[in-house]
Structures are given as C-alpha cells and as structure tokens.
Structure 1
Amino acid sequence: MRPTDFIPSKDCEMMSSTTSTKQYTPISKHKTILQGLSTEWQKPLSKNTIAQLKQATEAGAWDIWMKHLVSRKRFSSLSQLLGTSTSPLIWSANTSLQRDETLCFIEQLTDHAHSEKKVAASKELLNEWATTHTTNVLDATVAIQNLACAWSLAELSNAIGADLWWAILDQLVNSATDTLQLDIQQQPLAANLLGGELPLVLAYLFPELKSTSELSNQAIDFLSEAVVEMLDGEGMPKACYLPFFGPLLGCWTRCRAIMEQQNKLLWNDAAENQYRWLITQAVRMSRGGGGFAFAMSENLKSDRDLLISAVALSGNKSDRQAARAIVGRKKQRAKRSIAFDPSYHSEWAGVGLLRSKFSKKSRQLGVTYENGENRLELSHGNQILFSGEISTQTLLNGKTINQPTPTDWEQVAWESNADVDYLEIEKDIGEQTKIQRSFLLSRSDHFLVIADAIFCNQDSALQHRIELPLGEGVTVDSQEDTWELMLKSPNALARILPLGLAEWRTGCRNGKLGVKRRLISLEQTGYARAFVPLFIDLSPKRAGRQITWRQLAIGENRQNMPFNVAAGFRVQVGQKQWLIYRSLDRVIPRTVLGQNLLCEYHVSRFQSTGIAKPLLEVQ
C-alpha cells in the first residue's frame, strides 16, 4: 500500500482565489516579442542557434524558429505521452455545456496528419479563434480550447504564419496568467485547466522562450496546492467536486504525463502522493464497463480510456488488477488478492462508496452528503438504477416542519466487512425532530436497504415521505395486489419492497408506494417515532421467484412493543430469508423471531439450518 504519512488539513476551506471585478483587457505581446527577439531566446536552444536568432531579421528569425520546432526531437505530442489514439483533452470536455462543439474543436485541431485539407481547416479555425477569443469569459469550454490551441502551435508551426502564431501564443500566455478571475470552489475544472495545466503545457512545449518557461513555477505551485487541498488525504475529492471527477482526473493525468517527461516540471511530494491515491479512488468510483459514479452516462468510453491511461501511468499492481476487472475487455481470473477494499468512506469529503466487489457486474452505491443535500447513485454494472438527490418531507400533526436555518448531514456510523457495507447519516429537520438515514448494501446476498428513522421529542402524528430519482431509461412495473415495484431497462433490474407497509394493498392504512415524476415515492405514517425502510432486491436472477415480507412482533419483558419503539421485519425471496431489526428507543434486550438482540440495528440471514447468521449489528 502507499504511504499515508501526509494528511491534509480537514477543514472545509479550499484554496481561496480573489474574484476580480475589473474589466480585463488582453495585452498583445507578440509585437514586443518580435521587436525584442534578442532577449526572448534561451536554452535549450544551442548557443549557435541563439546567436543566429539575435543577428537575424524578424522574418529570418521566424524561419529559424519554425525549422527548430519542426526538427526538435525532445517533443512528444499529448497522444504520444499517454499512448492514446484520440486526444486526451476529450477527458475534460465532458462537463461542458457546449460539449459537442468542444469535441469538434479538439478533433479538428488534433486530426490533421497527412492531410493538407485538414491542416488548412485547422489554420482557418486557429485564425477564427485568435480573432474572437477573449479572456473576459473564462470557463471550462474556453480552457479546453486554449489547451487545444497550445498543442496545435507545436504541431502546426510550419503551416501558419508568424503573426498568427505569435498572436495565439500571447493570448494563451495572457489566459494562463489571468487566473485570479477564477474561484476554484466555484469553477474547479476551469481553474485547474487554466491555472495549472495551460501554463504547464506552455512551459513544456516552448522552454526556449522566456515568456512561457517562466510559467512553470506558477503551474507547479498551483497544481501542488490544488491537488492537496481538493482531496481528503487518500485521494477522494469533496462531494461538490464529484460531478467533475473524470475531467479533473483527466487534467491531472495529462499534467502528470508531462511531468514524467520533464523532471523539472514536477509537483511536490504531497501532491504526488495524493495523485497516486486518486487513481485508487478512480478505480473505486468506476462503474462496470466504464464511467465514473455521478458522471454523465454518455461518457463511458472516454472515462474508460482515462482510467486505463491513469492506471498505466501511475497506478500500482492492485490498481491495475482492479481496473482490469472493472473495465477490461476480457474476464480476469484473480491471480492475487487486491490490496484495497472496494468500498470507501470519507467524512471530510462527505462521500461514501458501497460496493460488492471489483467486477463489471458489481453492485455499487455512491452516497454524498454536503450542504444539506443527500445524493445517491445506485448502479449494477453500467446500468444506473437511481441517480440524483434524495428528497423528503416530514409533517407533524399535518403541518410542515419549519426550519429557519438549514442544517447539514453528519456521519453517524460507517462499517464495512466481508458481508455488508453500512453508512448512517443524520440531520436535524426542526428544533425537536431529526432524521437518521441508513444505507446497507449486502455484498454476497445482493440487496440494498435504504431507511429513514424519524425521531420527534414530542407526541405528534408523523407523516414522512422519501423519494428516490430513477436512472435514465429505467421503467417501473407495479403489482395490482401488493406494494411491490419492479425496475426494468428493459429486462428486470430490481424489486422494491416497502417493509413498513403491509404486503397487500387491501387494508393498508399507514402509507403507500408509487411513482411520481420519475421518482420512487414512499409515504408512511407513525407516531412520535417511525422507521421507514425500502428493501431493494438487486438480483435479476431472482426476479421470477416468489417474494414476501412481514412486520414482526417485538418482545420486551414478555410484552409486545409498539412499532414506534422497535420495528422488525422478515423478508423472503425464493429460499432466502433475512431478518431486519431497528430500535427506535433505548437499546435494551428484546426478542424478535426467536432472536435475542441487544443493539440498535441488526440484519441477519437465515441459513438452511434455521440459524440466523448476523450480517450487521450496530450497537
């Protein structure tokens, strides 16, 4: 395993950037460069070449410079650095609002080999970009275009004239040095692309020029600080950065590939340590077949290529083995155990990853909790069942709870063992009311339990609703007689059981389960306290088997306890049976289905012998 001696500060304050309120006017430097060539050139140009450049006219100097760019051997293109057939810049174009346009821009500037027509089209595109480009608007789309132009300058130097070449370079230098306009918390991707990657690329491509070589320190300082501050000490970004996980990993991977070629352009040891941990987290975050949790589903191929390239660049043996198991084209036979667990939780980042194993068909639940929001993504292989924010509403005596100041979710419990992954968070929703939300994923039995426990310090009638957003392309079939729901796309994916409701619709008076606006909506009533669980059977192979559930009697001192003191359930799918128990009051000895329990939360599986094997106990 990697060393963990470096742990960044766990406060929530990120690297601060001052947002400029001044109107930025780009300063054209290329005339100055052309007029002062004698002071612009430096090593690694030879002394003889520098002397020739100093004595040459502007036109002659350009000819010498162009021939040097074409003939130099130390330069490698971005695709060569990372061994890809397409431009690695597309890895960071996936969150752009103008994604298709950006991808076309990248493709046109990088796909020009052996084609005069394509070279001419690239020249025309560069000329248009130089004419219309402005630094008044700096976002991820503009940043990607800047990077594409930077790499094209090195490859198209013999196809474009001196004026256009220097004009583009000056605009790129201006963009790289004008990062104070960007707030890394508000624009994490654009800030890293423009403040870190762009100056690094310019310093790498043109070390012979002082104006670009001097950008190296800015790039290294920015990247070293950003990587450390945005990750939790073991490579996990804060929850708010997860929508940019793939693009950020792409940015830092391209930067790391450049550093591999030039040791002078290397971030500090703390950033290197965090980047290596980030690769491990990227493996954990990967869906079966490609794509990262909480990322857009159409990015499967580019995210898969990114993971393979990042692991090949800086991953260890376990990273490579786990990545092959998830996104490899062939089924891998385990030759050695993987040195890290497939699941992970970071309270600092507000992220929990619950995963059954490393494979293309593994069940995976991603959970984030930050700024009062709780989001989830449930996937089976590359099929997303749920994705988005979990919404709830709780009524006391028929009235909505008024909460003047929103509160954040806080982690209560995390446990990961050979049988299950378990995460519990809680949040105050009023002066006298709170919700404890739990997620339990069974690794071998292939089920998920999502449950809300509501606690009110006053005797009030409760009405609680929890809604889960469906994944794209998922449809729902309901049963006529029972509350069971079936998820399909188009084949069976999972079955959902509202354990707190009676199995049969007839006579059920304490709630309902249905679909509203592509949300699975469960409503359940209670008094003072309530346990509202959803049991999700994640085994498509069991879709045709008989399924049933019952609410159980809970015994305490030979008396049955009401459901607002403790709740117990038996779930049966085919021949498999499970027991689920939740205490809503003090933890004291109680009996349910012949089991003597002294815990807050208990889940067990009944074996063929009738003996219950505990899967989880939370004291």
Structure 2
Amino acid sequence: MPISLCGCGVDVSALPGVEILRALTWERGADSTLKSAAAEGDLTGARTALQAAFQPQSTGRESALGCGSRTLWSLAAFPDEVDLGKLLTKVGGSSGKARTGEKRATNKAPKTLAQRVDPLIRRLAEEDGGVSVFGLVASLDVLALTGARLRPEQLWKLWRHTLAQVVRQMRTMPGDDDHDPTVPADVQLIERDEVPFVAGVLFSDVAGAAELVKLGRKALARTLTENADTDGTPRAEMIERLSLWLAPLIRATLVARRFDVKLWTDDQEELLRSTVERAIPLCRPDGKATLSNGNALNPLPVLIAAAEMFDLPAVSPEGGYLQSVKRIAAGQPAKRVRSDGIMTMPSNQSDWARFALLRSDWSVQADSVAVAHHRQLPQIDVTAAGKPLLHGDWTLDLTIGDAIVELASEWSCVCWQSDPDADYIELQMCGPGKIRVERIIMLSRTDHFLLLADSVSGVPSDRIEYHATLPLADDILVRLDTPTREAQLTMKGLKARVFPLALTQDRVLSSPHEFSATADRLSLKQVAQGEGLFAPVLFDWHPNRTRADAQWRSLTVTEAGRVVTPDIAAGHRLKLGDLQLLVFRSLKDTGESRAVLGHHTRNETVVGRFDKTGNVDPILMVEAT
C-alpha cells in the first residue's frame, strides 16, 4: 500500500526500511535523487539525499547546539513527559565549552553534536504504539535544527520514526468540530496547528506535505487572530498559560524561516510581533508568569527566542525590560532603563480581550496590576516595586436582605484611563434588577500606592452584607496592627501597608465591619443599610512612608446643604506622612454638585491629594454616566 502523510492506513513503523522507501509516494517536484534512491530501495543513497534536503535555507541566529531546547518551552503542558524533558535539557544544554568555574579533563575531546544527540534519538525512536505529541514535537525539532549534521544512520532512524508518528497522528487527529474542552488550548494548538505545518515543511518531498502545510498555515493563522486583539493583547483565557500558547507559534515561525517557507501574511506577522511585545511585561522580574493561576511556567526562554526572531532592539522598552529580566535570572544586576516619558506607555487595556495591565514604568522595579475579567471572579496580579504582592481571584460575596446575589459569568470594562499620574480601570457586573457592582482599580504611576474598591449601587433599600477577599502572593507575611485596623505585608525587600478606609481606624471603637487576614488572603466585610455601599482598600509601599503615622476617617458629604448618607455618596481621607488623599465615590447620581471637605464635584469618582492650603489636587476624576 502506498505511503503518504495524509490518509495512509499503513502502520509505517512495522515496515522494514527498504519497504518504506519503495512504498513512499511523492509530491510533484520532489527531489529526484531521493525519489530514485527510494524506488531502488537504496538506503545509502536515500540517507545522503535526506541530509541534503535538511540543509537550512536561512540559519538566522539559531544554534544547533541547543537542539531540543525549543521543545522544552511546552514541557509544562505535558507533565507525564518529565523523563524526556530531562534528556532534552541535558542534550540541549550541552556544549563543548566548560561552564563557568568548571574544568574539563584535558585528555577528553569535546563530544560532537552526533555523539551528544545520540541518546535522545535512541530514546525518541523507541516510542511505539500511540503517538506521544511531546515526543513528536521533539523529533521534529531535532530534525529541523540538526538533520543536516547528523550521521546518516542517525538521520534515517529519526526520519523514519518521525514519519511513522506523523502518519499515525494525521490518521487519528480529530476533526475541527470534535473539540475536547478538557484539553488545554495550547496542547490543541500543537496537535492541530503546529505539528501539521512543521511536518509538512520537514517532509516536503513526501505526498501530502503540501496539504499539511496548507492545513497548518490556515489553522495557525486562525488561532492567532482569534486569540489576540488587533494591538496584540492576548485574550484573558490565554493569559494563565500564555507562554505555552506562544511556544508553538514561535517554533513554527522559526521552522518556516529556517526552510524559507511562507507562514504568515505581513499583517499576521506584525500581529504576532505585537503579541510578543504585549507578553514581555507579563513576565515578572523573577522570571515567573503573571496570572499563571498556580501553573509553574517559565516564560523567559520563549520570550527571548521570540525577541531575537523579531530583532527587538535592546534599547526599546520591551527589549530593555526583557534583557533586564534575563540578567536577573542569570544572577546579574539589571541594566538601568532609560525612561522615554510617556512616548511608549507600559499600560494597555482591551475590552475584547477582557484584560488590562496597569503599570508605572518599564523598569524591573515597576509597580503593576494585571487584571483578567473573563470569569465570575476577576483575577489580579499585583507587583510592588517589582515584588509580587497579590496573585489570584478577587472574591466577592454579596447578600441583599436574605437573598444571596448570584454573580454574573464575567465583568465588563466601563472605564479605562491611563496618564502620567495614574492608571485606572473600572469593571462592572450587573446583578438582578438594578443592582450593579463596580470594581475600581487605580495604580499611582508616581507615588507607589494602589486603590482597590467595590462600589455596590442600585439596591432596593435593604440590608447589604458585603464580603471580599484579596489573594496574597507567596512568601508574604501578614501582621495586623493592634491599636488600629491597619494591616502590614512584608517580604524580603518590601513592606506594604493596607488601610480599609471605610472602617473606623481604632479597634477600640466597635464596628459591624471586619478587616482580617489569613496566611494567604486579606478579608474585608462591610454591612450597610440603604441603597448602596462603598468598600475601598488602599495599599501603600512607598519606602519613605513605611513608618509614617497614619490617620484615616470617613468624611461628611453634603448636597445642597444637606448631609448625604454613605449609601448615596461616600468620602474618605487618609493622611500618611506627606501623603494626604481624598477618595470620593457617588453611588447615586442626582445631577447636583456634592461637597466633601470643601471640595465640590459632580463627578462619580474623585481621587486627589490635599495640598498645603487644604485644596484638592485631583489625580483622577471620573464623570457620572
């Protein structure tokens, strides 16, 4: 029976080498030397022709010494492949040079590439039965990077095995409509998109290769455009496994460039470049992934490879930040990043992607908040001076009267503002009736503080019970102040202070509200009677204010000379050393101006500083809608 890459019912792995050669069918324009050797069953001639076929058209900056290392970008998606991952690490990290501080015996010559890669080829060629997707990616990666430099018998062994695996994978691959929700999107991307394209490129002479290239190219383009906004912002669903999703796209692009095969249109390649640029600031200074939801990911290798592939200049904001993270990972001090003012804002937001990044600057000491709001509970990831502070779900439980409010499946962004003073996002969830919950996030871009708040409004006048928790990052130690309701968060190199502004400062004053903490969460409970509730929490980590005296209190709000109750509008003041802040929120709009501590406003939200004369210098003003 003839053998092709598509629609072949033969178990290629069970056939002798000569029979495989004679049964192969070919693409029009296939290499004549390879076809002749195959027709004659000439293994020696076929091996020689294959080595010529694997000569790269463009090597770029790739190094064959790191063969298999690109497969490791996806290892976290295949937890059962730890042993193969160790072998790939050993082979991919090997070189003829001794490591720093390590001496090599003078009587031993460095191993050649063929010697180093031989254990890996033997391991890959041992896989029989079902297809190991991770093993198949490794086989394709080794063929792409080292095929022309292997010994003829090594190349034939790996080529034959990989051919059998590709044929089996194409025969058993489910159709486009057979979507398994239990399989992560990045694994499906490898199986349905990357493997067909790369296999078609590497087995370009075998019949069916052109069809696989076309199939893979179309699938890769669809995956990219369906999961990245026009500015490159990835969909929130992709963020927690972002490096695993990027890995197949970057590997396929590198193979396409190496063998001079067209993969992307100009617009698609620009979109992929933009996606890489958006992904770079989502790699923390410690090399870990933002919003990884517990996944132990290492995004740095794939981002470095992608930046080199796109020639991102080291002097660009993204390139400079990535180089700094790379240096930190290598135990070296980060390079000082020159600020370009607001020419290239480090923050971005996408309604379509349901994701936003609030960030003070491009340095590794930046303050940042990443927020994904595609689920019932928004996820946040906060770094303070480059140190992880909060990471995980921002929970919410709301009871109106005796009824528990059922949360919507996702939140929408109703306000986004980014300027040199602060980044601000407001998320909204509509509940039953006219009930609305707005989640407020404001990050100062100059003064190292963060405001997180919930605004509940539209409630039929009733008792409101509110409970929210904030997820602490690993290694954070919590201390609750005894005289006051302040909390202090500490870790190596960072101290942050937390103020629940709607609660009375002194613990000796009884309150129906509660601000508490466990080892991994901060918890805020508030109770109100009326039409709404405002629950602000302020974090401050300015190094000059870690020991400053703190005073905060709720303020009286008036409208037309009459006092307005806190369920209609709420104002709070915090004095922390030289920082004096006003936080105001209108929960019900009447169209009239309101006054709080001498400041008159028709705005829905105001955050400002009190100057030395007592006037408010606004940092943020949001108009009522």
Q: Are residues 1:353 and 2:357 paired?
A: yes
Output one character per residue of 1:31-85: Cα deviation in whole Å (capped at 9) or x when no partner. Answer: 498536365356887544543443x33xxx2222223344567238999637985
> Structure 1 residues 161 and 353 mapped into 2: Cα distance closer, same or farther (>3 Å)?
closer
- Aligned-pair distance for 1:548? 2.1
Aligned AA (2:74): S
2:86 to 95, 104, 113: 104
TM-score by length of 1: 0.85
- Aligned-pair distance for 1:297? 8.2
Q: Which stretch shifts more, 144-153 or 408-417?
A: 144-153
1:252 to 234, 237, 249: 249
- Aligned-pair distance for 1:284? 3.5
Q: 2:140 aligns to what SS in structure 1?
A: helix
> Structure 1 residues 145 and 542 mapped into 2: Cα distance closer, same or farther (>3 Å)?
farther
Q: Are residues 1:234 and 2:215 paired?
A: no
1: distance between equivalents of 2:186 and 2:558? Answer: 56
Contact 2:514 2:525 in 1 (8 A): yes
> Structure 1 residues 380 and 79 mapped into 2: Cα distance closer, same or farther (>3 Å)?
farther
Match in the other structure for 1:304: 300
> Structure 1 residues 77 and 544 mapped into 2: Cα distance closer, same or farther (>3 Å)?
farther
2: distance between equivalents of 1:74 and 1:460? Answer: 75
Match in the other structure for 1:531: 534
Q: Are residues 1:469 and 2:471 paired?
A: yes
> Structure 1 residues 562 and 417 mapped into 2: Cα distance closer, same or farther (>3 Å)?
same
Contact 2:435 2:459 in 1 (8 A): yes
> Structure 1 residues 333 and 238 mapped into 2: Cα distance closer, same or farther (>3 Å)?
closer
> Structure 1 residues 412 and 261 mapped into 2: Cα distance closer, same or farther (>3 Å)?
same
- Aligned-pair distance for 1:116? 7.6
- Aligned-pair distance for 1:266? 1.6
2: distance between equivalents of 1:506 and 1:419? Answer: 37
1: distance between equivalents of 2:323 and 2:455? Answer: 37
> Structure 1 residues 354 and 101 mapped into 2: Cα distance closer, same or farther (>3 Å)?
farther
> Structure 1 residues 99 and 291 mapped into 2: Cα distance closer, same or farther (>3 Å)?
farther
How do residues 172-211 of structure 1 correspond to structure 2 at under 5 angstroms? 172-176=166-170, 178-180=172-174, 183=179, 187-211=184-208
Q: 1:579 aligns to what SS in structure 2?
A: strand
> Structure 1 residues 119 and 323 mapped into 2: Cα distance closer, same or farther (>3 Å)?
closer
> Structure 1 residues 35 and 116 mapped into 2: Cα distance closer, same or farther (>3 Å)?
closer
Match in the other structure for 1:602: 606
- Aligned-pair distance for 1:450? 0.8
How do residues 496-515 of structure 1 correspond to structure 2 at under 5 angstroms? 496-515=498-517
Aligned AA (1:28): D
> Structure 1 residues 77 and 201 mapped into 2: Cα distance closer, same or farther (>3 Å)?
farther
Unaligned runs of 5+ in 2: 1-6, 95-110, 328-333
2: distance between equivalents of 1:96 and 1:497? Answer: 43
> Structure 1 residues 296 and 584 mapped into 2: Cα distance closer, same or farther (>3 Å)?
closer
> Structure 1 residues 177 and 81 mapped into 2: Cα distance closer, same or farther (>3 Å)?
farther
Q: 2:307 aligns to what SS in structure 1?
A: helix
TM-score by length of 2: 0.84
1: distance between equivalents of 2:347 and 2:620? Answer: 16
Output one character per residue of 1:238-276: Cα deviation in whole Å (capped at 9) or x when no partner. Answer: 211111211122221222222223443322344223212
Q: 2:372 aligns to what SS in structure 1?
A: strand
How do residues 398-437 of structure 1 correspond to structure 2 at under 5 angstroms? 399-401=402-404, 403=406, 406-437=408-439
Aligned AA (2:12): K
Q: Are residues 1:394 and 2:419 paired?
A: no
Output one character per residue of 1:420-461: Cα deviation in whole Å (capped at 9) or x when no partner. Answer: 111111113434533111111111111111111112431211
Q: Which stretch shifts more, 309-318 or 505-514?
A: 309-318
> Structure 1 residues 406 and 289 mapped into 2: Cα distance closer, same or farther (>3 Å)?
closer
> Structure 1 residues 324 and 83 mapped into 2: Cα distance closer, same or farther (>3 Å)?
farther
Unaligned runs of 5+ in 1: 1-23, 136-141
Q: Are residues 1:570 and 2:564 paired?
A: no
Q: 1:278 aligns to what SS in structure 2?
A: helix
Match in the other structure for 2:330: none
Output one character per residue of 1:81-103: Cα deviation in whole Å (capped at 9) or x when no partner. Answer: 37985712222223443474453
How do residues 32-47 of structure 1 correspond to structure 2 at under 5 angstroms? 34-35=18-19, 37=21, 40=25, 47=32
Aligned AA (1:393): D
Contact 1:123 1:159 in 2 (8 A): no
- Aligned-pair distance for 1:212? 4.0
1:121 to 119, 122, 128: 119
1: distance between equivalents of 2:20 and 2:117? Answer: 30
1:145 to 124, 135, 146: 135
1: distance between equivalents of 2:270 and 2:91? Answer: 34
Contact 1:325 1:332 in 2 (8 A): no
> Structure 1 residues 393 and 73 mapped into 2: Cα distance closer, same or farther (>3 Å)?
closer
Aligned residues, how many? Answer: 581
Aligned residues with identical type, % of pairs: 22
Q: C-alpha root-mean-square deviation of aligned residues, in Å? A: 3.3
Contact 2:376 2:409 in 1 (8 A): yes
Output one character per residue of 1:167-197: Cα deviation in whole Å (capped at 9) or x when no partner. Answer: 4421123325644266386531012112222
Output one character per residue of 1:302-357: Cα deviation in whole Å (capped at 9) or x when no partner. Answer: 42232232122225559843331354234234285675321111111111111111
Contact 2:366 2:386 in 1 (8 A): no
- Aligned-pair distance for 1:486? 0.9
2: distance between equivalents of 1:611 and 1:503? Answer: 24
Contact 1:477 1:486 in 2 (8 A): yes
- Aligned-pair distance for 1:160? 4.5
2: distance between equivalents of 1:245 and 1:168? Answer: 28
2: distance between equivalents of 1:46 and 1:449? Answer: 65
- Aligned-pair distance for 1:378? 0.8
2: distance between equivalents of 1:68 and 1:244? Answer: 40
Q: Are residues 1:89 and 2:71 paired?
A: yes
1: distance between equivalents of 2:470 and 2:59? Answer: 42
Contact 1:476 1:487 in 2 (8 A): yes
Q: Which stretch shifts more, 458-467 or 205-214?
A: 205-214
Aligned AA (2:284): R
Q: 2:378 aligns to what SS in structure 1?
A: strand
Output one character per residue of 1:522-580: Cα deviation in whole Å (capped at 9) or x when no partner. Answer: 00111121101110113244222222212111122222222112111111221111111
2: distance between equivalents of 1:258 and 1:377? Answer: 34
> Structure 1 residues 82 and 582 mapped into 2: Cα distance closer, same or farther (>3 Å)?
farther
Contact 1:583 1:601 in 2 (8 A): yes
> Structure 1 residues 334 and 506 mapped into 2: Cα distance closer, same or farther (>3 Å)?
same
Q: Are residues 1:67 and 2:48 paired?
A: yes
